[in-house]
Amino acid sequence: MTARFPAQPELAGHPYFQFRNNVLYAEDVPLDHLAERLGTPLYVYSRAALKAAWQAYHSAVGQRPVLVCYGMKANSNLAVLKEFARLGAGFDIVSGGELKRALAVGADPARIVFSGVGKQAWEMRDALAAGVKCFNVESEAELRLLSQVAQDMGARAPVSLRVNPDVDAQTHPYISTGLKENKFGIAIESALAVYRSAQALPALEIVGVDCHIGSQLTEIGPYLDALDKLLDLIDRLAQAGIAIRHLDLGGGLGIRYADETPPSPRALLDPVFERLQARGLGHLHLVLEPGRSLVGNAGVLLTTVQYLKHAEARNFAIVDAAMNDLLRPALYDAFHGVRPVHPRAGEATLYDIVGPVCESADWLARQRKLAIEAGDLLAVESAGAYSMAMASNYNTRPRAAEVMVDGDQYYVVRRRETLDDLLRGESTL
């Protein structure tokens, strides 16, 4: 990997994370201060970075009828959610738990869309009672259950069908969702028939068409291919007397982890609007569900080097963060930049950065050229999305604390878990 980056590339979270006098800062707060006061591993988010990422969508949308629903699975810390709610975001939720979080920060239910392939009856009930904007439904069986639940409540459920347009998003197979072999959505060839079934059910109201083709997309081609197929479907639905109010294009815009050059929201949306205009559908409301592109580069994970271990084939830097804190490298072979918070002069050595968990998959970065010593503080970049959100307690490791920096202030937005937290709720016979 290091060979691909002969020069130090700019920090992925630049300019919200940058070096000043040889110390890495989040906005105006030196990261070593945070580590001293709060310990490691520690997630650090930049409020200004969240705002800037939101602003990129906001300005690309302009005056057009687009609802941007933050795909909160990427990072559902209440402080992050509150920030987006304040900025005017809607939310894309995938569970009753995420609904509770959104409501806890005062989100407007009319700006919440409920996605997910396995919604349970209690989750449908909670979402109906709250008054969400739309259920993105993924199968006929789910349509029937939703209609039943709504009928029992004397309500009508607003629905979109999540259509699988069968396009190749050209991303990691685990995060590609728009192909025929994926579990997600309804095959586009069957969509018209399933819309007809939805129409025949008593307590549903058809409001939209939905898709989500994958995550960490770095090209707009797959989006536009999907868009064309969905617009054809919307035409066929209109001919069948089924009017659609909104088109949900899902999330998926990528971020720079290493040397990717993902399109900006504007680079994605301008051609989308052009196609809608060209097809006489300029009035159609759009929904977007971005997750990663709103938060991914707004966070780093701080970790301390515990030991250096020089083995025959490799050098290891054993750090105090692990796969339970950041699963992406183990699960997707994902690349995250790693920087010493206080870079040292001296000879750099190739290291694998690994955690203390008893798994060979417990690594955070491989073959990085670093000048480091035990006790040094490292920042793992691009850790704002799918990082703390996917953390676990494997090896009975308490989950890290999270802190949000705002200018020269910082706020602990999730305290570090204690060992007592971990044992609470368990009992012996």
The question of whether 69 is a catalytic residue gets the answer: no
- DSSP letters along 3-17, please? GG-SS-PPPTTTTTE
- Judging by beta carbons within 10 Å of its beta carbon (0-12, 13-18, 19+), is residue 13 exposed, middle or buried? buried
Asked if 367 and 350 touch (Cβ cutoff 8 Å), the reply is yes
- Judging by beta carbons within 10 Å of its beta carbon (0-12, 13-18, 19+), is residue 127 exposed, middle or buried? buried
The answer to whether 332 is annotated as binding is yes
DSSP class of residue 133 equals: S
Among 74, 80, 146, 163, which residue interacts with ligand LLP (rule: CB under 6 A)?
Answer: 74
Among 56, 175, 203, 308, which residue interacts with ligand LLP (rule: CB under 6 A)?
Answer: 175
Cis before residue 6, ω within 30 degrees of 0?
no
User: 82 to 101, contacts with ligand LLP by CB under 6 A?
Assistant: 92
Strand order in the sheet with 29-30: 17-20, 23-26, 29-30
251 near ligand LLP (CB under 6 A) = yes
Q: How far is the CB of 254 from ligand LLP (least distance, A)?
A: 7
**Contact letters (x/-) for ligand LLP, 384-403, by CB under 6 A?**
--x-----------------
The answer to whether 314 is annotated as binding is no
**Separation in Å, CA 180 to CA 227, 231, 255, 287, 378:** 16, 19, 25, 23, 41
User: How are beta strands 299-310 and 246-248 bridged, if at all?
Assistant: unpaired
- Please, what is the angle between helix 140-152 and helix 191-200, to 10°? 20
Q: Closest CB to ligand LLP among 17 and 114? A: 114
Q: How many residues does the chain have?
A: 429
User: 308 to 367, contacts with ligand LLP by CB under 6 A?
Assistant: 328, 332
Q: How many residues bind ligand LLP (CB under 6 A)?
A: 21
Main-chain phi, psi angles of 347, to 5 degrees: -75, 135
- Which region, judged by CB under 6 A, interacts with ligand LLP, from 77-85, 151-159, 286-294, 401-409? 286-294
Q: How far is the CB of 22 from ligand LLP (least distance, A)?
A: 31
The answer to whether 359 is annotated as binding is yes
Among 158, 252, 355, 384, which residue interacts with ligand LLP (rule: CB under 6 A)?
Answer: 252
- Which region, judged by CB under 6 A, interacts with ligand LLP, from 71-79, 145-153, 362-370, 392-400? 71-79
Cis before residue 343, ω within 30 degrees of 0?
no
User: 200 to 219, contacts with ligand LLP by CB under 6 A?
Assistant: 212, 215-216
289 near ligand LLP (CB under 6 A) = yes
Q: Closest CB to ligand LLP among 195 and 223? A: 223
User: Which tokens belong to 252?
Assistant: 């998926």
The answer to whether 282 is annotated as binding is no
Closest CA relative to residue 196, chosen from 230, 222, 233: 233
115 near ligand LLP (CB under 6 A) = yes
Asked if 59 and 373 touch (Cβ cutoff 8 Å), the reply is no
The answer to whether 292 is annotated as binding is yes
165 near ligand LLP (CB under 6 A) = no
Q: Closest CB to ligand LLP among 126 and 289? A: 289
CB neighbour list of residue 313: distance below 8 Å, 6 or more residues apart? none
Q: Which residues bind ligand LLP (CB under 6 A)?
A: 71, 73-74, 92, 115, 175, 212, 215-216, 250-253, 289-293, 328, 332, 386
Active site residues: 358
Please enumerate, by residue number, every residue annotated as part of a binding site. 252, 289-292, 328, 332, 359, 386
